[in-house]
Structure formats: structure tokens, C-alpha cells
Amino acid sequence: MRRDRLTPVERFAAYGRGEPLDRLPCVPIVGNTAARVLGVKVSEFRGNGKLIAEAQVAAYRRFGYDVIRIFTDLYTQAEAMGAKVHYPEDETAYLAAPAIASVEEIASLQPANPHQDGNLPQHLEAMELAFQAVGGEVPVTGALTGPFTTASFLIGTENLVRLTLKNPAAVHQLCEVAYQGALVYAGAILDTGCTPSLTDAMCSTTVISPRQFKEFGQPYLKRLVDFIHGRGSAVTLHICGKTASIWEAMADTGADCLSLDNAADLEAAKVKVGQRVRLMGNVPPSEIMLQGTPAQVRTAVRTCVRQAHDNPKGLIIASGCSLPVETPFANIDAMLDAVRKIGWPVDADDLENES
């Protein structure tokens, strides 16, 4: 297999300047799968920034992808504000109980202190250590959950989505406190040398309407993006599930890159917002990366490249969401190898022929 000529940092810089590349950037979004690279249990990441950093750096070195993202689950910020999170021994954590049960309790919520509350200090430590280790050659990002999604973990998703119609003011109050927490955390992430990488899962139109996204999601995201830009960093925004009807609104946040779920069509996204944002996506994480064969991964990669390699603002071949913990290494390798084989510049005719 062809070897990479550029480091990820060099590759992104060249891509941004329109200079020749060795291959397209490629990001299988490795979260807790990193535990498998080190042979540790997922729960060992809890409260252990050193181990998270070590695993993420080891996973980067093992696969050679283009972005390290310090991420274990979406609940870190909500947990630091009082939500209860359950940590299975060797699987990804999940929400056990929201921080509050009623609108009356919203006033009791405080933005988290990232240097003190929950597992935020350990995540910041992981970012700092990973950045020190390999930040010169690969972008290291820190996962930052969007305010609307954090709000859903603070009061419960069903509660929150009912409130979007019944009590919009309460939703704004929740989003505001979640935003204040996210803002301070974003600043702390930037202080480590890393770039915040925004995820706002619940903003998907699988859950809320485009109108609700514009009211409760986008304004808070835009404020965060503005802040991050003010600190001199570009930022990626990921929203899970269906997003086609909010791509323009997502771009309006000012995000530089939209990371799209496999429910989205990259070609349609290219036509709609490709002049404004880089696109990142979208090999199906469950059906292809977890359950598929390397041959299926290669086919899926070629489909993504065919759909959007000519995106005006560029394309990052990525998984549609964070990879499932047990994603076979062979499939992650197949993803990178497929991108290496396609190389640069992309030959559209060649893509039509099956590898």
C-alpha cells in the first residue's frame, strides 16, 4: 500500500492553499475504539486523562488518520452540571438520569467549571497531553457538545422537546446556561492547544424541525463558533441523523466544516453549501464500518469521493459519526487504504471502476 508523503498538518495546510496533496484527508472518527488499540477497558478512560491521551495517540499512530478527537461520550459537560452518567465496564457510557426534572429547577443550574467539575479536568488533561505529543503533526481536537444537546441531557430529551413548543422561554434559559458552560469549556480547550470540535446531536431534523433548530440550536452554535474564530481556530460542526433541510442554517453558524451523518447525501450537500463549507463524511458507522467487510468499506469510500471530491471548499472522507467501539481494525485500515489508493488528484473516471 502507498505510504503517506505528508503529515496531517501539512496535508490540511496544502489542501487549504490549493496545493498538490498525496491523498484526501481521511478521518475515521475514533472515540472509545482507541481503548481497543491499547487493550484497555472503556471504563478505564473515566477520570484518566493520561490514558485517554495515550490511547488516542496510539490509535492515530496505528491507523495514520488526519484528526485526533479527544472524545469518550457526549455527556461530559452535562455530567459536570449534574447529570448522572452510567459507565458500563467496557462499553460507551450512557445517560442514567438528567440533572433536573422540572422547569422550576433550571435556575439552580450553574455553568460547569472545566478545571473542577465532573470529568472535564481529565478531558482537558487528555487534550493537553495529546497535543504536546503529536500536535505538531496532526490536528488534535476536543469534543464540545452543543448547548441544545447538553440541555437535553440536563432536563431529559422528551421534556426538552415538549418544552420547545410549550415553554420556549424555558428552553432558552436551559440553552443559555449550557452555552455559558460550553463557552468556558471551549476557552479551556483552546488553552490546551486543541481546537473545539462541535457536536449537536439533538439538533438533527430526525428530532426537531428546521424552525426549531433555527430558534434553539443555531443561535447558540453561532456564538460558540464566533468565539472560537475569535481565538483564531477553524471549527467543525457535526449534527447526527437527518440534516438536509438545515445545511444552510448549519453553514450560517459560521462553521468552517460540516460533518454529516450517513443519513445525508454528500452530493446534495455539495450543491447546496459546498461554496461555503468543507464537507466531512459519511461512511455508515454501523452498517459498513462495524458490520461490513473491508470491500464494502472501500466501496463506501469511493461513493463518498465520487459524490463530493470536487466540493469547492474541500472534502474530508470520514465516518458518518463516531465509530462503534468494536469496529474491526481491518475496516479502519480499509478506509485509509481506499483513500490512499484513490490518491490525488482524484481521477473521476477511475472511481467508476471497482477496486
Partner 1 sequence: MSNQTETLFRALSDAVVGMDEDLTRQLSTQAVEQGIDALTAIEHGLVDGMNRAGKFFETEEYFIPELLLCSDAMYAGLDILRPHLKHAENQIRHKIVIGVVEGDTHDIGKNLVKIMLEASGFEIVDLGRDIPPQRFVDEAVKAQASVIALSTLMTTTMDGMAEVIKLLQKANVRERFKVIVGGGPISQSFANRIGADGYAAGAPAAVKLVKQLIGVAA
- Binding of partner 1 by 303 (CB under 8 A): no
- Among the listed ranges 59-67, 140-148, 267-275, 323-331, the one in contact with partner 1 (CB under 8 A) is 323-331
- Residue pair 301/25 in contact (Cβ under 8 Å)? The answer is no
Look at the alpha carbons of 169, 175, 181, 183 in this order and tell me if their dihedral is positive or negative: negative
- Binding of partner 1 by 324 (CB under 8 A): yes
CB of 248 to partner 1, least distance (A): 16
Question: Site residues for partner 1, window 73-132 (CB under 8 A)?
Answer: 86, 88, 91-92, 94-96
String of DSSP letters for 1-35: -PPP-S-HHHHHHHHHHT---SS--EE---STTHH
3-state secondary structure 265-297: CHHHHHHHHCCCCEEEEEECHHHHHHCCCHHHH
Output the nine-digit C-alpha cell for 19: 496545493
- Binding of partner 1 by 166 (CB under 8 A): yes
- Residue pair 51/65 in contact (Cβ under 8 Å)? The answer is no
> How crowded is residue 135: how many other Cβ atoms within 10 Å of its Cβ?
18
- Binding of partner 1 by 329 (CB under 8 A): no
- Residue pair 225/254 in contact (Cβ under 8 Å)? The answer is yes
State the Cα–Cα distance between residues 176 and 302, nearest whole angstrom. 41
- Binding of partner 1 by 330 (CB under 8 A): no
Residue 252 three-state SS: helix
- Binding of partner 1 by 285 (CB under 8 A): yes
Give how far Cα 236 sits from Cα of 76, 156, 255, 336, Å.
Answer: 19, 26, 6, 20
- Residue pair 172/103 in contact (Cβ under 8 Å)? The answer is no
State the Cα–Cα distance between residues 204 and 294, nearest whole angstrom. 29
State the Cα–Cα distance between residues 86 and 269, nearest whole angstrom. 36
Give the total of residues touching partner 1 (CB under 8 A).
31
- Among the listed ranges 45-53, 108-116, 207-215, 328-336, the one in contact with partner 1 (CB under 8 A) is 207-215
Compute the C-alpha angle 99/102/106, nearest 5°.
65
Pick the binder of partner 1 from 72, 141, 150, 164 (CB under 8 A).
Answer: 164
- Among the listed ranges 131-139, 159-167, 306-314, 334-342, the one in contact with partner 1 (CB under 8 A) is 159-167
Question: Site residues for partner 1, window 222-251 (CB under 8 A)?
Answer: 240-241, 245
- Binding of partner 1 by 167 (CB under 8 A): no
- Measured from the CB atom, the residue of 10 and 90 that comes closer to partner 1 is 90
Compute the C-alpha angle 226/229/234, nearest 5°.
125
State the Cα–Cα distance between residues 154 and 144, nearest whole angstrom. 15
- Binding of partner 1 by 325 (CB under 8 A): yes
Pick the binder of partner 1 from 58, 234, 290, 346 (CB under 8 A).
Answer: 290
Pick the binder of partner 1 from 167, 209, 293, 355 (CB under 8 A).
Answer: 209
Pick the binder of partner 1 from 113, 157, 180, 303 (CB under 8 A).
Answer: 157
- Binding of partner 1 by 319 (CB under 8 A): no
- Binding of partner 1 by 151 (CB under 8 A): no
Compute the C-alpha angle 201/149/314, nearest 5°.
40
- Binding of partner 1 by 217 (CB under 8 A): no
CB of 118 to partner 1, least distance (A): 18
CB of 292 to partner 1, least distance (A): 9
- Binding of partner 1 by 286 (CB under 8 A): yes
- Binding of partner 1 by 145 (CB under 8 A): no
- Measured from the CB atom, the residue of 94 and 329 that comes closer to partner 1 is 94
- Binding of partner 1 by 7 (CB under 8 A): no
Instruction: Please report, as ranges, the residues that interact with partner 1 according to CB under 8 A.
Output: 86, 88, 91-92, 94-96, 157-158, 161-162, 164-166, 205-209, 212, 240-241, 245, 285-287, 290-291, 324-326
